[in-house]
Chain A
């Protein structure tokens, strides 16, 4: 029943996305709410979100396909599929954000080796290809030595690409809110946490109830989510408290924008209450932590919290003017320091999310993602 609802919802989301895509392709960026001051909006935040899930899901896959942890047996293919689908959603989201989408080839053939963005594009491309080959091998030749070799390469690569997203923002000395050494360290942890949450959803809500390891896998993923939530909250505390103590105006304003600005509800309600505290408490309990529905829905909440968290990293730093009087210096469309995604942006994001969910469902129905395993 839940799967049918998911199919319907994802198809409806795709329809909304089709309208958004039409608007995007016909009118370019004109109907987007981001501008020349808040230059990156919802699509960049969703790119960070989906890319994080992809890297995290790959890390989870290594527990089965590389390290051979008994309780995680059979989860590797599913995790690789989640990684692949998420990565496609991430790359689609960021591709649509480009001013000249058809020039993306230039990053490959004429890229700047010193640009973190170029490094990231190359890294994600390599990661995507590697994940695809790993999935094919895991399905067709699970005992192949090449699979283990690729998983060995993929593990540090997943760390690199998720850290690179943090570095992409962290290298910008002009944005105090981003320019902290902690950012590239935080992002792989965020990725692992969001990948773990995605696997809670995949196994908990859509996994086979006949799977004898399911309950134990859910318990492990639940506990991992609890621990990663605590680490995540510690990072948040370290980040914000240092910013406030440091008292650099541009930084303090960005932190205040997160906590008390127009996105206060996204921070306090989505990111902290629903995305962190509620799932951490529920998943720490032995019963719900093993229960497919409880664990799965808590995974959904964690993911919603992560989407809000990614947005809270991207937008607020850009809403603080580089020069105070810029806000009134010159007026015109797309020259504002306030941002709330436009209908077209939401529609495109809904479509991309719908596409990812639909691809996941079709893959889980048609591909042999869960191996028939023997339980020791």
Chain B
């Protein structure tokens, strides 16, 4: 059987998979991410792309890449593990929410309703993967000097990070100091706003090693369906019964 990773550029194939999936009702899709750890080179491009796509402020991260080093010089090797939200089918973070602000949407993706979240952070403590972070309201331009007539300063420099992101398809501008998503718990949502527009998640399209795969696992012809059927697939902390939708090829 030909290796699907060799036959066609996988981004094109995943784009085709996505197009087919979007023709189905949301309830019939099963969005899945597969991360091939053998192909990950630890460039952190996915992390940066995610930060840019969602305009994440300092201290908020959806997809860090964990690095581990083994051995001692000269026999040293490093291992990289990108960790998005694992979009568990049995998420421990949702039932603890006191106000139904976080739940699995019709696509099965775990989302946060920014206007409903009270910022208690109980869901953060419940996640066994540390996939949630709290928005403390910081900006990268905090402390930027400003002097009228001399230095343009913060009021001009922070235009970009104050501009709206479009998470969940809703514009969220960081205008004040308290408006959502400031004061909210935030997390990876598989770039639902991009999917709705027929575009793959930012981390997937940015991955230079083609290590991140995305698609509909209910589609027998999709790339991810082929990948998760392989014997070298693992899921993180599977013993907790969370049933993550992010699979790792090892």
Contact = CB atoms under 8 A, between A and B. Distances in A.
Partners in one complex: yes
Given A30-B137, A172-B126, A321-B130, A332 B58 contact: yes
Given A99-B117, A107-B118, A330 B47 contact: yes
Given A30-B138, A99-B119, A333 B58 contact: yes
A172 B60 CA distance: 23
A130 B126 CA distance: 32
Given A110-B116, A332-B58, A99 B83 contact: no
Nearest to A314: B125
Q: Which of B65, B66, B99, B183 has the most CB of A within 10 A?
A: B99
Given A175-B125, A333-B58, A325 B99 contact: no
A139 interface: no
B67 interface: yes
A104 B183 CA distance: 13
Interface in B1-28: none
B66 A326 contact: yes
B134 A334 contact: yes
A29 B118 contact: no
Contacts of B59: 35-36, 332-335
Interface in A99-138: 99-100, 103-104, 106-107, 110-112, 114-118, 121
B97 interface: yes
Contact of B129 (A35, A97, A103, A323): A323
B228 interface: no
Contact-size category for B: 35 or more
A39 interface: yes
B6 to A, nearest CB: 31
Contacts, number: 158
A174 to B, nearest CB: 3
Nearest to B180: A100
Residues of A contacting B: mostly: loop
Nearest to A317: B125
A174 B128 contact: yes
B109 interface: no
A99 B124 CA distance: 13
Contact of A39 (B66, B117, B125, B135): B125
A216 interface: no
Nearest to A25: B178
Interface in B134-155: 134-138
A299 B124 CA distance: 35
B202 interface: no
Interface in A175-227: 175
B120 interface: yes
A321 B182 CA distance: 24
Contacts of A172: 92, 96, 125-126
Given A117-B96, A174-B92, A332-B58, A36 B128 contact: no
A318 interface: yes
B49 interface: no
25 contacts: A26-B177, A28-B136, A28-B137, A28-B183, A30-B136, A30-B137, A40-B121, A98-B120, A99-B118, A99-B135, A99-B182, A110-B99, A114-B95, A115-B99, A116-B96, A117-B122, A168-B122, A318-B125, A322-B130, A326-B64, A329-B66, A329-B67, A329-B83, A330-B65, A332-B58
Interface of A: 26-30, 32, 35-37, 39-40, 97-100, 103-104, 106-107, 110-112, 114-118, 121, 168, 171-175, 318, 321-326, 328-330, 332-335
In order of increasing CB-CB distance, the 4 nearest A-B pairs are A99-B119, A99-B183, A174-B128, A325-B66
